[in-house]
Chains A and B, each alone.
Chain A
Amino acid sequence: MIQFIEAIFENLNTWGFAALTLIIGVIEFSLGLYGKNWNRNEKLLDLVCYALPRLVTRPLVAYFGLKFLPYLLPHGKDALTWVPFFWGFVIICIYDDLTQYWYHRLHHEIPWLWRFHRTHHSAPYMGMSMASRQNVIYTIFFSQTYLTTILVYLGLGYPALFAKGIKSLITKMAHSSIKWDKPFYEKKWLQPIAWVMERVISTPATHHAHHADTTDDGVGYYKGNFGNMFFFWDMLFGTALITRQYPKSYGISHYEGDEWYAQFLWPLLKSSVPGSELAASGPMVRADVKASDERFDSEKEEPDLPLETNPIEQRLIT
């Protein structure tokens, strides 16, 4: 039985999740869950970001684990194999996910980091297609990947196999446009499970709120809900919002389809969209465009305040 479970996780971590992402993505697309927003530019960006971790990041992390760490810590290999499975599993779960929580949160709260994470938020839809969508710099410096690789090198490879598998499953399903958590909120007998679940792990409701193009409107909350595997980091640090509702629209309110290569390779390549955060002379953080601002645009009138001087609706908490 244990060997069977081991085999499942080994396969998931090697090729299984890539295949699962593809299958769920096709289902989402077939159900029309990407709407009309999945144009050529978004498709290319999603596709490149889906392929990059497999073609570049994994070999890089493998080099780090197989060549660099033996050089840096020659006596460290398997030094912690004595750690019992349970404790190894707990250590990996906490170290990996708490590190990612901070990596993610800092990219939202520190203005100069925002543009490295913006690519993940520019998608005007949720789903498997955008789950891996990241700027190349953000992907390469994914801090928790290197931390977990160090722990694996030190001897926690076996518990890491399961922790990483469970984490991937939770984070992928939190990005899915299939609202699988909805029955938990609607069926009375499932509500006690929902109460615990939404406080412990990321769900579509809480993570979709993080990807909303609005914030502080009672549903959208890109100022928080930073957790990936565990949502209880948000509960603990006061960055959580649980509403059991899903945003009406996703992405960035002022997004105008920056070229896929600029989103992928910024700051090496810049966007040609005037005023974009990724343009050569663009602002570090641009303020949100509210629905009322869009109305002004359509009526060819100027809003009362220039967009970049309205501090209330700044994209970041600044």
Chain B
Amino acid sequence: MKLEKEVKDRMIRNILLSLFIYALPILLMFLYFYLTGQKPWIK
């Protein structure tokens, strides 16, 4: 029993989007530190 191409394609698209979502909070956090001049890791 194989995956239908449509399901497989949607899954791949969604996984790529998920990788971006995993990175998003970290990117936003560092953008916030950059904008506010904070460097909490130095403390």
Check: A4 CB closer than 8 A to any chain B CB: no
Which of chain A's residues has its CB closest to B41's CB? A82
Which of chain A's residues has its CB closest to B39's CB? A82
* Contact residues, A187-210 vs B (CB, 8 A): none
Check: B35 CB closer than 8 A to any chain A CB: no
Binary interface profile of B, 8-40, with partner A (CB < 8 Å = 1, else 0)? 001100110110011011100100100000001
Interface contact A94-B25, CB-CB below 8 Å: yes
Residues in A neighbouring B41, C-beta threshold 8 A:
82
Indicate which residue in B3, B7, B40 contacts A83 across the interface (CB closer than 8 Å). B40
A238–B34 alpha-carbon span in the complex (Å): 34
Interface contact B21-A98, CB-CB below 8 Å: yes
Q: A109-B7, A317-B4, A318-B1 are in contact. Are A83 and B21 (CB under 8 A)?
A: no
Which of chain B's residues has its CB closest to A283's CB? B1
Interface contact B7-A318, CB-CB below 8 Å: yes
Q: Separation in Å of the A205 CB from the closest CB of chain B?
A: 23
Interface contact A318-B21, CB-CB below 8 Å: no
Interface contact A98-B40, CB-CB below 8 Å: no
Interface contact B21-A94, CB-CB below 8 Å: yes
Residues in A neighbouring B7, C-beta threshold 8 A:
109, 317-318
A95–B25 alpha-carbon span in the complex (Å): 10
Interface contact B10-A82, CB-CB below 8 Å: no
Q: Separation in Å of the A317 CB from the closest CB of chain B?
A: 5
- Considering only CB atoms and an 8 Å cut-off, how many residues of chain B contact the other chain? 21
Interface contact A90-B21, CB-CB below 8 Å: no
Residues in A neighbouring B29, C-beta threshold 8 A:
83-84, 87, 90-91
Residues in B neighbouring A318, C-beta threshold 8 A:
1-4, 7
Residues in A neighbouring B24, C-beta threshold 8 A:
94
Check: A20 CB closer than 8 A to any chain B CB: no
A273–B43 alpha-carbon span in the complex (Å): 63
Which of chain A's residues has its CB closest to B18's CB? A98
* Contact residues, A27-67 vs B (CB, 8 A): none
Interface contact A91-B26, CB-CB below 8 Å: yes
A51–B28 alpha-carbon span in the complex (Å): 40
A52–B21 alpha-carbon span in the complex (Å): 32
Q: A87-B29, A91-B26 are in contact. Are A110 and B17 (CB under 8 A)?
A: no
Binary interface profile of A, 93-104, with partner B (CB < 8 Å = 1, else 0)? 011001000100
Which of chain B's residues has its CB closest to A311's CB? B4
Q: Separation in Å of the B42 CB from the closest CB of chain A?
A: 8
Interface contact A91-B18, CB-CB below 8 Å: no
Q: Separation in Å of the A65 CB from the closest CB of chain B?
A: 21
Residues in B neighbouring A91, C-beta threshold 8 A:
25-26, 29
Interface contact A94-B22, CB-CB below 8 Å: yes
Which of chain B's residues has its CB closest to A284's CB? B1
A82–B30 alpha-carbon span in the complex (Å): 13
3 shortest interchain CB distances as A-B pairs: A111-B1, A87-B29, A237-B14
Q: List 15 A-B contacts (CB under 8 A).
A: A82-B43, A83-B40, A87-B32, A90-B29, A94-B21, A94-B25, A98-B18, A98-B22, A102-B18, A111-B1, A111-B3, A112-B1, A237-B17, A238-B10, A318-B3
